[in-house]
Amino acid sequence: MLKQFGVGVAIAGSGSATPTAKLTNEQLSQVVETSDEWIQSRTGMRERRVATVEESLCSLSVQASQKAIEAAQIPKEAIDLVILATSTPDDLFGSAAKIAHQVGATHAVAFDLTAACSGFVFGMVTAAQYIRTGVYQNVLLIGADVLSRWVDWSDRSTCVLFGDGAGAVVLRADETRDRLLGFELCSDGTQNHTLTLAFQGETKPLVDEVNAKLGNYQPITMNGREVYRFAVAKVPEVISKALFRANLTASDIDWLLLHQANQRIMDAVAQRLKLPSEKVISNIAKYGNTSAASIPLALDEAVRDGKVKVGDRIAASGFGAGLTWGAVIFEWGINNG
């Protein structure tokens, strides 16, 4: 039975997990022709994590989820919905239900959501709609990707960028106020070709004139220059629109939390919004671009380091393949006492 409309959303806890193996810029220079100076000057990255054969998207997601549920101080059985934002599931049919089972969310419905590097932001907005309409009370939102599976390790323009990881948050119904203050989501399929992880197959004749197409997904391809131009132009715009919907301005924001794609993009967006570098949350040097995991991973680290505190206002924006981009303005935390 639906509760009355007007229920608010609170972001009650976070968690994250990364693979044990580190791959530094110096080590990458043994794989492709590159250098630590070249990578750092263009991206801000020093190292990234790579999933071992024992690790998987599910195992990383379960670790992050368990930490988020513990931080939110709710029983795992109280989770009503699990949303997994990912482009690299362990199973192409979806991994959310398996993760829900392994976490112990025995009463939850679960599904995957794919919006590449924007996935976590799209997932937060999706989760909020279920909560605001009273359908679900507690939602576990996971952003996770294992892009090392789909990188061409001979292509130095892409292999230096990506890493693996998972982050999660618990969103809860709040009868007193709504801490998700505003959002804006966008997409543009005409630019899909600039960043892809595409299927490529060969025709297999079956019978008469019936043919099938069999193959596999090809490694990531990206036009870095075009993606950079897109992000620097569109991200400040979408954040400004989300702030307008929240009846706020950039000066009201405590933290700018962007998809960790490139430090130069983050610096450019902050400058256009007239926000000082001290307000920009960044861990790109340690993890590189972890796609849907990057925002919740950076958020969880900032919360656990004591940087982000209950009541802080955060402007988060994801952007990437699709092309998709979006922003959400939220107030961190809830007093669990």
- Per DSSP, 332 falls in state B
- Are the C-beta atoms of residues 205 and 41 closer than 8 Å to each other? no
Pairing between β-strand 199-207 and β-strand 210-217 as defined by DSSP bridges: antiparallel
Is 289 known to be catalytic? yes
C-alpha–C-alpha distance, residues 332 and 71, integer Å: 13
Of the candidates 117, 138, 159, 262, the residue annotated as catalytic is: 117
Is 117 known to be catalytic? yes
- Among candidate residues 101, 59, 57, the one with its CA nearest the CA of residue 82: 101
Of the candidates 138, 259, 262, 283, the residue annotated as catalytic is: 259
Is 107 known to be catalytic? no
Distances (CA, A) of 32 to 26, 27, 29, 162, 264: 10, 9, 5, 14, 23
Of the candidates 25, 262, 283, 289, the residue annotated as catalytic is: 289
- Give every CB contact of residue 38 below 8 A, 6+ residues apart in sequence: none
Helices (H), the chain: 25-28, 36-43, 57-72, 96-103, 119-132, 156-159, 224-245, 263-272, 284-287, 294-304
Residue positions annotated with a catalytic role: 117, 259, 289
